[in-house]
């Protein structure tokens, strides 16, 4: 059984999937971190692979950028492929001055300017939150390695290039960083009885305007991968 966006058969995809935005990032992770990776999807170049990590079956699949894109892929993983643990690995723009480039941000919650949750016909505003157990496991992994990280709210926005600047307003509410996918991922996981967690490497600071060098990107990305993979193993 395949979907309009995924030509994997049921069983090709592990119970736990790591979700980078970029397809070539998914390929890089499969080739450099997983044992015996097998590709299961190439539709629209949204590459997906399943392999092993410390004896556990783990998949990695790209989501593309933004809420509509991750909304489609995460819904299909949950409802058509029985995926139980969805761990997003991405980059974010820091909204708080104490966050340094390369720090890991774990999204305990996601705020949004998107109307994604209107589909649930709720009588109020839905607070999209991470799975507590995955979050604790990620925190423990980061602590074990002594990585710098912060846990808190993120702002999941539909708009990257924009006319206004909402950064100060979100920052005032203690929101750590800006990104573009977690709200939909957390909604889909909640509605589909799956577990989700987003973690990010701070790639740029919306406070200072600084952005990462290519070298720093690679090093800090490796730290986040270690946290994500150890979370996947602990989630088994
Ligand atoms: N905004 C939204 N998403 C992002 C950013 C940003 O500044 N940086 C990395 N992902």
CATH of the domain at 150: 3.40.50.1580
Question: For 60-89, what is each residue's pLDDT tens digit?
Answer: 999 999 999 999 999 999 999 999 999 999
Q: How many domains does the chain have?
A: 1
Using the predicted structure, report yes or no on whether residue 236 has a pLDDT greater than 90: no
CA 30 to chain centre: 16
Whether residue 3 is contained in a domain is answered as no
- 89: domain range? 16-235
Nearest CA to 100 among 58, 53, 60, 148? 148
Whether residue 32 is contained in a domain is answered as yes
Whether residue 8 is contained in a domain is answered as no
Whether residue 110 is contained in a domain is answered as yes
Whether residue 10 is contained in a domain is answered as no
Q: pTM, whole model, 2 decimals?
A: 0.97
The protein residue whose alpha carbon is closest to atom 10 in ligand 1 is 92
What is the mean predicted confidence (pLDDT) over 6-14?
95
For ligand 1, whether the C-beta of 198 sits within 6 Å is no
Question: For 98-146, what is each residue's pLDDT tens digit?
Answer: 999 999 999 999 999 999 999 999 999 999 999 999 999 999 999 999 9
- In angstroms, what is the span from residue 235 Cα to ligand 1's centroid? 28
Buried b (16+ CB within 10 A) or exposed e, 153-167: bbbbbeeeeeeeeeb
- In angstroms, what is the span from residue 193 Cα to ligand 1's centroid? 28
User: What pLDDT score was predicted for residue 220?
Assistant: 76
Residues 216 and 233 sit within 8 Å (Cβ to Cβ): no
Residues 90 and 179 sit within 8 Å (Cβ to Cβ): yes
Whether residue 71 is contained in a domain is answered as yes
Whether residue 4 is contained in a domain is answered as no
Catalytic site residues? 204
User: What pLDDT score was predicted for residue 231?
Assistant: 98
- In angstroms, what is the span from residue 160 Cα to ligand 1's centroid? 7
Share of the chain above pLDDT 70, in %: 100
Residues 139 and 106 sit within 8 Å (Cβ to Cβ): yes
> DSSP class of residue 180?
S
Using the predicted structure, report yes or no on whether residue 217 has a pLDDT greater than 80: no
Give me the chain's average pLDDT, please: 96
């Amino acid at each position: 059984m395949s979907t309009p966006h995924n030509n994997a058969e049921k069983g090709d995809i592990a119970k736990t999937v790591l979700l980078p935005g970029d397809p070539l990032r998914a390929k890089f992770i499969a080739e450099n971190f997983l044992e015996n990776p097998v590709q299961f999807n190439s539709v629209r170049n949204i590459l997906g692979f399943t392999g092993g990590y410390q004896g556990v079956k783990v998949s990695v699949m790209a989501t593309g950028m933004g809420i509509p894109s991750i909304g489609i892929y995460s819904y299909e993983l949950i409802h058509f492929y029985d995926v139980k643990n969805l761990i997003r690995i991405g980059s974010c723009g820091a909204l708080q001055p104490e966050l340094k480039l390369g720090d890991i941000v774990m999204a305990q919650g996601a705020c949004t300017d998107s109307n994604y949750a209107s589909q649930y016909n709720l009588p109020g505003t839905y607070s999209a939150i991470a799975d507590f157990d995955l979050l604790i496991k990620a925190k423990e992994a980061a602590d074990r390695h002594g990585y710098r990280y912060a846990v808190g709210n993120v702002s999941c926005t539909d708009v990257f290039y924009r006319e206004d600047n909402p950064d100060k307003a979100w920052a005032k509410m203690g929101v750590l960083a800006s990104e573009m996918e977690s709200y939909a991922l957390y909604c889909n996981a909640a509605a589909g009885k799956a577990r989700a967690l987003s973690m990010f490497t701070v790639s740029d600071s919306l406070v200072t305007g600084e952005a990462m060098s290519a070298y720093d990107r690679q090093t800090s990305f490796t730290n986040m991968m270690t946290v994500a993979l150890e979370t996947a193993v602990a989630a088994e």
